[in-house]
Structures are given as C-alpha cells and as structure tokens.
Amino acid sequence: MSRSLSYKNVSKRRFNCMKSTMRARVNDFAHKNNYSITVWQVPDKDSGRWHIKLESSKINKPSLDFIAHVKLSPNNLLTIDLIHMPAFISTSSAVREVNAVYHSCSQ
C-alpha cells in the first residue's frame, strides 16, 4: 500500500478542520492510553513537514513518532507523504485514520 495519499476538494476551511480534528483525536488517544504529546510540529501554512511524537511514562510502552510531508495545492489537492511512523503500525491502519479525518470534515 502506498505511503502517499491524495485528497481532492480540500479547501482551506476543510484543511483547517482536518488539522483540528486530527489534534483532537491524537489528544484523545494520548489521554486514553497514558501517552503525552512531546512533539507537535504542525505548521500553520499549507505545506511543510509535520512531526508528531507521543511518549509514555511507562517503560514498556514504545514512543509513537510520525513524520509526514503535507502539501495543499492551489487547486485544492491535498497530498500527504508518510515519511516515518512506528514499524508496528501498518500503512493501511494509518491510511484508515487519515481517511476518517478527511471524511469527518466534509465541505
């Protein structure tokens, strides 16, 4: 499965909704699973490198580190290239999560 995702019809408003929804989902996951968000680098601009890292205070829980290149084109095409994520998380699982965020922010 490709680690590059493309979404059509992503207006600036929808893009901001997706970022906000993603932040809420990550916060919820972190809270429920005893993680803290130690890195949240999601730029305000339409393109750039996103870096999100969650760490647990429990020794036996691995850190969750995600890096992606994100670009929103002037023609409302959103491209997300997954650069790095934990090895035990499948690409299909990551894609499902991003798809859920995309669909939750309908125009």
Listed residue (55, 66, 64, 61) closest to 98, CA to CA:
66
Residue 3 pLDDT level (bands cut at 50, 70, 90)? confident
| Strand order, beta sheet including 35-41 | 4-7, 78-84, 64-72, 47-56, 35-41
In contact, 80 and 10? CB cutoff 8 Å: no
The secondary structure of residue 62, as a DSSP letter, is: P
pLDDT of residue 30: 95
pLDDT of residue 22: 95
pLDDT of residue 17: 96
Q: What are the domain boundaries of the chain?
A: 4-104
Q: Note the pLDDT tens digit of each residue in 15-72.
A: 999 999 999 999 999 999 999 999 999 998 999 999 999 999 888 899 999 999 999 9
Q: Note the pLDDT tens digit of each residue in 74-98.
A: 999 999 999 999 888 888 999 999 9
Mean pLDDT of the 4-19 span: 95
pLDDT of residue 91: 87
Counting Cα atoms < 13 Å in the Cβ hemisphere of 107 gives: 6
Find tokens 């647990």 and name the residue.
56
In contact, 67 and 83? CB cutoff 8 Å: yes
Name the fold adopted by 4-104: TATA-Binding Protein (3.30.310)
